[in-house]
Chains A and B, each alone.
Chain A
Amino acid sequence: MKHRTILHADMNAFFASVEQQANPELRGKPIAVVGGGGRTVITTSSYEARAKGVKTGMAIWEGKRVCPELIIVIGDNRKYTYTSAKINEIFRDYTPEVEAFSIDESWLDVTHSLGIFGSSETIAYLIKARIRHSFGITCSIGIAPNKLLAKLASDMQKPDGLTIIAPEDVARVLERMPINELCGIGKKMQRHLNMMSIYTCGELGRCDEARLTRKFGIIGTRLKQMGQRIDHSPVVQFGEEDEVKSVGHSRTLERDIDDPLEIRRFLLQLSEMVGSRARKYNVSGKTIHLYVRYADFFTSWGKQTTLKM
């Protein structure tokens, strides 16, 4: 079977890079991008800020404590969405098979473009040069035989990296790699696997599948495949995604509220957003799930109601 060639492109410190490009005064300086409300945390920061210890998720005061010269910039989502769309247009000049994983990450299946451009490396360099020239943004690109490994490869060298995992190198690269480096294995899953004495991708791949499925259900098979470097998932182009199964909207309020009238106003607003999306996808539903997170950010309340149709 012919190997696929998948590129994963990850924009480096995307929001911060866009802001630094838009405002030359910010270039080369530690900046942090935050949301617009009063209760916001650092969404992302420039590499200059990261070098000083600023991390995503920190409160503004925490960021200022580790880096007093930190410049706070209020994010502008429309600017980022536009830039992301333009970057995806660049990707589509090299292959129609582009899947936007998030606003700053995409997969490209370039298997059928190699005859035109010569090699995946050439495509990666062309893409990097065009994004840098058009937007002043650097990106890290990973090239591998599947999506899982391509994402892994792009994470290996940041910023402005290009990492290729050739089919013959896959086993060697993954053997001693910690499992948390794999996309889809979070802290909770890592803890569970560590309790089963599985620490590396090599160990995960050699683990008995029945043991994994007993513990994790159908996810067990997927985990085993991840450890064995198997990922047949295709690059799904825009418009070919799975059918929408649920539509939701959430909002973090700028301050605590307890006035029932005010709460109803926000509920109406959220309902309008959900209704608007449902109409856009041309779907309707019969079960409504309402979820509330309280002021301490830890306690929450949920209620599910099935409507009579």
Chain B
Amino acid sequence: MSARVPIRVAAIFSPGGKVTPKWFELNRRKYEVKDTTYFWRDRIGEVPLMHYAVTDGEALYELVYNTLDQTWSLNGLQAERP
């Protein structure tokens, strides 16, 4: 799946600009972030974006934080099931 879906995310904003997502809501279900497996930044026009590849222990999600309007979106989801 790959789309930009606005979502609610709880994150810790630490001194130094570090942002750590802790949990997010998707389809009225709360997912705990067990691990942030990768982080990268990019930019669309003048808008700096922070990308987080996170896992709840089952699937991999790409959360994106828009630092200009301070919103979160789900950019992609990858689930591997047998």
Contacts and interface: CB of A to CB of B under 8 A. Distances in A.
A82 to B, nearest CB: 4
B40 A82 contact: yes
B42 interface: yes
Contacts of B13: none
A24 B51 contact: no
Nearest to A83: B40
Contacts of B35: 24
B29 interface: no
A18 interface: yes
B42 A25 contact: no
A51 interface: no
Nearest to A74: B2
A12 to B, nearest CB: 17
**Chain B: interface secondary structure?**
strand
A96 B42 CA distance: 25
Interface string A45-81: 0000000000000000000000000000000001101
B7 interface: no
Interface residues of A, number: 11
**Chain A: interface secondary structure?**
helix
Contacts of B38: 18, 21-23, 79
Contacts of B60: 22-25
A82 B41 CA distance: 6
Contacts, number: 30
A24 B54 CA distance: 10
Contact of B55 (A24, A81, A82, A83): A24
A23 B53 CA distance: 7
B42 A82 contact: yes
A24 B60 CA distance: 9
B32 to A, nearest CB: 16
Nearest to B76: A76
Interface string B25-45: 000000000010110111000
Given A79-B40, A82-B41, A83-B40, A22 B53 contact: yes
B14 to A, nearest CB: 17
A25 B51 contact: no
Contacts of B42: 78-79, 81-82
B40 A23 contact: no
Nearest to A71: B80
B71 interface: no
Interface string A66-108: 0000000000001101110000000000000000000000000
Nearest to B52: A22
B37 A21 contact: yes
A82 B52 CA distance: 13
Given A23-B38, A23-B78, A79-B42, 13 more contacts: A21-B37, A22-B53, A22-B60, A23-B53, A23-B60, A24-B35, A24-B55, A24-B60, A25-B60, A25-B80, A78-B40, A79-B40, A79-B51
Interface of B: 35, 37-38, 40-42, 51, 53, 55, 60, 78, 80
